[in-house]
Amino acid sequence: GYRKVKLYFMIGLPGEMDSDVLGIVETCTMLQQSCRDLGRLNLNITISNFTPKPHTPFQWHSVSTVEFQRRQELLRGAFKRLRGFKVNFTDVRLSAMEDFVGRGDRRLAPVIEAAWRAGAGMDAWFESLERTYAAWTGAISEAGLEGRYREMEVGSWSAVNALDRKDLEVFCRQPLPWDHIDTGIDKTWLMEDLQRALEASVVPDCSFHGCSSCGVCGPDLGHNVVVQAPVVPTQVPTQAPPSERICRLRIQFAKTGSMALLSHLDLMRLLERALRRSGLPISFTGGFHPLPRVQIALALPLGAEADGEWMDMEFTEALDPLQLQQGLQPLLPPGITLLTVAEVPVSSPSLSQEIRAAVWSFDVELESGMTFDWSPAIAALLAADQLMWHDTDKKGRPRSRDCRSVLRRLDVLSDPEGSRLRLRLEADVDSMGRSLRPSQIQHWLEQQVCEPIAVQSLKRDRLELARC
C-alpha cells in the first residue's frame, strides 16, 4: 500500500493560538500512530501562511511576517524531536509579497511594471527567490511605497480581534480599494461574517440549509444551487480508452478575437472537451493518464492572434476530413475556426518536425508615443552579423545563442517615420522548434533606439510546413 502521505496545513488564521499551531504536530503524530500496525508511515507536510484576500470576511485582517516566523520556529522545534516527517514551510517573504499585491490599490500599477522590467515576470519563486524578491522590493521602493509595504509586512497580528463590536463596525466601514468592484456579496454581510468568525460561530451551508442573506441572490432569500446539475449517465467501466492509430488528420485553424487570450494549455483542454462531446473516435495515448492524440504545431504566446495554425489529430477509425470539420466546428467557441482538413499518413513525421518557418505581423511604437524615424534602426538590425539572445534554461542556468541565421526577412509595412510601425517577420524554425519571436525583435530594436518599445496587434499570419 501507500507508504507516504502528503498533508497541507495553514497557519496565521485570525484568532489562532499557539495551541492551535502545535495541534498540527499532534494531528500528524496521531495519524502516524494510527497506522503503526502497517509499519512506519512517512508524512510530507506543507505548511503555508494565511494571506487575506479581498471580498472575503478576513479582508480587514492584518498579518505579520514576524509572527509567521515565530510560529514556523515553534513548529520546527516540535517536529525536530520526531521521526518520519518531512516539513516544508512557505517562505514568509513570498507571503508578504502576496499580501502586498493582493490587497493593494491603484498605486500598485507602477510597482508591478517596475518589477516586471526588473525580471520578475512569470516568477518561479521557489527556484529564484532571492532574485525575484529583490526585484519586487526594489520596485516597491522605487514607487515610494516602502513604508506601506513595511506596515503590511510587520502588521498587527490581532488588530481586528482586539476591537469591540462597535469599534469593529466603524473600522470595517472604512473604504477599501476594491469596494467599487461588485461581486454580489454585500460588504455589510462580510462584516457580520467576520464577527461570526471571531466568535467561532458556525454559518450553515446554504446548499443544504437556509439562506444566510449574503446578497448574491438579490433582495430575496436564495439558494446557492441556481441550476440543478444534469444527471450523470451510468457508465460501464472500460479497461482503457482506445489507442489504435488508424487515421491522422491535419487541420489548419485560426485563433482570433477573444480566443487570443486563451493559453496553450487551455486550448488543449478546450479541444479535448469538444472531441469528447463530438463522439468522434479519437485515439488516446497509453499509460496511467491517457490523453487524446492531439498535437498543435507551435504554441502561441498569450495575447497573439493567428490565421494559419496547424494541428494533428489521430483516430481509431478511418474518418472523412469533412466529417471531422462538420462534427467539431459547431462545438468550438467563436474565434476558433477550422479552415482546412486533410488526411496524412499515420507513419509520417510528427507535426513538430514538419515546421519550417513562422510568419508574424505586429506593430512597434515608442512607449513615449513620440514620432520616430525607424529606418536606421531596422537597417542596423538587418545588417548585423550576429543577433545574440541571452536567456536561461529550465534549471535557471544562463545560455546564449546567435539567432541571425534564422531571420529570413523583416519587412516594413507602414510609414517608417510614423509614431507606430507595422512589421512583418519571417523566421526559420530549427529542428528543436526554436525560432524568432516578436519580443526578441522588440529587444534588439530597443538596443538600437535606446528607448522602451511596446509591441501591439501581434498576429502569427501562418506557419510554413514542409508538406501542406
* DSSP-assigned letters across all residues of 417-461: TSSEEEEEEEEE--TTS----HHHHHHHHHHHH-S-EEEEEEEEE
129 assigned to some structural domain: no
Q: Which of 316, 348, 380 is the last residue of a domain?
A: 348
Phi, psi of 12 (to 5 degrees): 100, 10
Q: 196-225: per-residue pLDDT in tens?
A: 888 888 887 777 777 777 877 766 666 666
- Cβ neighbors of 65 (< 8 A, separation 6 or more) are 92, 93, 95, 96, 153, 154, 155
Do residues 149 and 140 touch, judged by C-beta distance below 8 A? Answer: yes
Q: Are residues 406 and 448 in the same domain?
A: yes
Spatial CA neighbour of 95 closest among 141, 124, 63, 71? 63
Q: Are residues 379 and 303 in the same domain?
A: no
Spatial CA neighbour of 68 closest among 42, 45, 49? 49
Q: Residue 181 belongs to what domain range? A: 1-107+145-223
Q: Where are the beta strands (DSSP E) in 221-347?
A: 247-255, 294-296, 305-315, 336-344
Q: Find cell 468550438 and name the residue.
A: 332
The pLDDT of residue 370 is 81
Q: Are residues 158 and 72 in the same domain?
A: yes
The low-confidence residues of the chain, meaning pLDDT below 70, are 1, 121-127, 147-148, 150-163, 218-227, 232-238, 467-468
Do residues 244 and 325 touch, judged by C-beta distance below 8 A? Answer: no
Q: Are residues 324 and 364 in the same domain?
A: no
For the chain, percent of residues with pLDDT exceeding 90: 42
SS3 366: strand
Report the number of distinct structural domains present in the chain: 3
The pLDDT of residue 467 is 66
299 assigned to some structural domain: yes
| Bridge partners, residue 360, by sequence | 425, 460
Q: Are residues 48 and 99 in the same domain?
A: yes
The C-alpha angle with vertex 66 and arms to 60 and 67, in degrees rounded to 5, equals 65
The pLDDT of residue 218 is 67
Q: Are residues 453 and 379 in the same domain?
A: yes
Residue 16, C-alpha cell as written in the block: 489562532
CA 467 to chain centroid: 35
237 assigned to some structural domain: no
Q: Are residues 210 and 179 in the same domain?
A: yes
Q: Find cell 498540527 and name the residue.
A: 24
Residue 230, C-alpha cell as written in the block: 444534469
The pLDDT of residue 98 is 87
Q: Which of 318, 348, 378 is the last residue of a domain?
A: 348
Q: Are residues 70 and 208 in the same domain?
A: yes
391 assigned to some structural domain: yes
The pLDDT of residue 223 is 62
Q: Are residues 257 and 301 in the same domain?
A: yes
140 assigned to some structural domain: no
CATH code of the domain covering residue 415: 3.30.2350.10
Do residues 358 and 429 touch, judged by C-beta distance below 8 A? Answer: yes
CATH code of the domain covering residue 324: 3.30.70.580
Q: Are residues 93 and 200 in the same domain?
A: yes
Q: What is the DSSP string of 148-207?
A: HHHHHHH--TTTTTTS-HHHHHHHHTS--TTTTS--SS-HHHHHHHHHHHHTTPPPPPTT
Q: Which of 332, 348, 364 is the last residue of a domain?
A: 348
Instruction: State how beta strands 453-465 and 355-366 pair.
Output: antiparallel
65 assigned to some structural domain: yes
SS3 383: helix
371 assigned to some structural domain: yes
Residue 52, C-alpha cell as written in the block: 487575506
SS3 334: coil
Q: Are residues 303 and 439 in the same domain?
A: no
Q: Are residues 63 and 150 in the same domain?
A: yes
240 assigned to some structural domain: no
- Cβ neighbors of 132 (< 8 A, separation 6 or more) are 119, 120, 123, 124, 125
